[in-house]
């Protein structure tokens, strides 16, 4: 058999075997810890990651799944969660290399646009992701900067769970400059975060399907200051997020990628 045919068969095989290993990438400790408890995961003692990095892996068996929660940890100098695209890309890359997951779930909080139907506490499954702070006004580089891509399609999961669907726009700021706003509108986004499109880029690069579960902590086009609203709602909205992620994982259990 020609090598090309073999690899096609292999690829089809992985679509049809039950999902075995999942990687849940979560930027903030507050979001991650309730899920660590829920899935009864333990902290990795013998880190897969290079010595000295703050990245943390929690792992264990939940139902028929090897579940890994990866949290980029606290910044070594400042002691705050390592949010944003750089840490998200690095941990996604290192975790895929080490764990060869069947599926990635990027779970987290996000800002939502009420004009597009988002409310505080809503949980979204992103249909598409793109960046809003990588402006390169040269033909084709402009599209590279935006980095728009579709997420892995999960029609059955959507039918089963009560999640909203919308496009996600990612950038490295919590606030929104007028430039960012114009790009977010151009991206047709309903929700805005600081990691999603970066995780999607790395997952695509290494051919791992990825989905994005995002809960709305703040209304970007509302009248409250974002940082204040975000901090006020973080804990309560995290409960909704964690409930949705548990439902997603329960749905995935025992299924193949093609059944999602
Ligand atoms: N804009 C951008 N990011 C976020 C947001 C908003 N209005 N609300 N919540 C978030 C997410 C980001 O993805 C970060 O992980 C964290 O919460 C805020 O630092």
pLDDT above 70 covers a percentage of the chain that reads: 95
Give the Cα separation of 145 and 131 in Å (integer): 7
Is 164 among the domain residues?
A: yes
Q: Which residues contact 46 (CB under 8 A, 6 or more apart)?
A: none
Q: What is the pTM of this model?
A: 0.94
- Residue 68 tokens, joined: 């890994």
Is 259 among the domain residues?
A: no
Is 205 among the domain residues?
A: yes
Mind listing the pLDDT tens digit for each residue in 166-208? 999 999 999 999 999 999 999 999 999 999 999 999 999 999 9
Find the mean pLDDT for residues 57-64: 98
Q: 240 pLDDT exceeds 70?
A: yes
Is 190 among the domain residues?
A: yes
Residue 129 lies in domain: 19-254
- pLDDT band of 14, cuts 50, 70, 90: low
φ, ψ dihedrals at 57, nearest 5° = -115, 130
Is 58 among the domain residues?
A: yes
User: Catalytic: which of 180, 193, 218, 242?
Assistant: 218
The finding on whether 229 has its CB within 6 A of some atom of ligand 1 is: no
Number of structural domains, the chain? 1
Is 4 among the domain residues?
A: no
Is 61 among the domain residues?
A: yes
How far is the centre of ligand 1, averaged over its atoms, from the C-alpha of 112 (Å)?
A: 10
Is 11 among the domain residues?
A: no
CATH of the domain at 175: 3.40.50.1580
How far is the centre of ligand 1, averaged over its atoms, from the C-alpha of 91 (Å)?
A: 18
């Amino acid at each position: 058999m020609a090598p090309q045919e073999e690899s096609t068969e292999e690829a089809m095989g992985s679509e049809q075997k039950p999902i075995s290993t999942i990687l849940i990438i979560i930027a903030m400790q507050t979001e991650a810890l309730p899920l660590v408890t829920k899935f009864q995961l333990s902290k990795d003692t013998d880190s897969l990651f290079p010595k000295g990095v703050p990245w943390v892996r929690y792992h264990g068996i939940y139902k028929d799944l090897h579940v890994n929660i990866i949290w980029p940890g606290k910044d070594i100098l400042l002691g705050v969660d390592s949010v944003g695209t750089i840490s998200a890309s690095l941990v996604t890359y290192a975790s895929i290399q080490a764990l060869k997951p069947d599926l990635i779930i990027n779970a987290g909080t996000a800002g939502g646009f009420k004009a597009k139907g988002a409310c505080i506490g809503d949980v979204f499954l992103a249909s598409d992701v793109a960046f809003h702070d990588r402006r390169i006004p040269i033909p084709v580089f402009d599209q590279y900067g935006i980095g728009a891509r579709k997420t892995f399609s999960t029609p059955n999961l959507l039918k089963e769970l009560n999640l909203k669907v919308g496009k996600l726009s990612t950038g490295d700021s919590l606030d929104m400059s007028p430039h960012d706003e114009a790009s977010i509108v151009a991206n047709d986004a309903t929700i805005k975060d600081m990691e999603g499109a970066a995780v999607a880029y790395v997952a695509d690069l290494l051919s791992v399907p990825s989905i994005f579960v995002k809960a709305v902590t703040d209304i970007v086009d509302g009248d409250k200051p974002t940082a204040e609203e975000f901090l006020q709602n973080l804990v309560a909205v995290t409960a909704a997020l964690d409930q949705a992620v548990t439902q997603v994982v329960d749905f995935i259990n025992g299924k193949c990628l093609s059944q999602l």
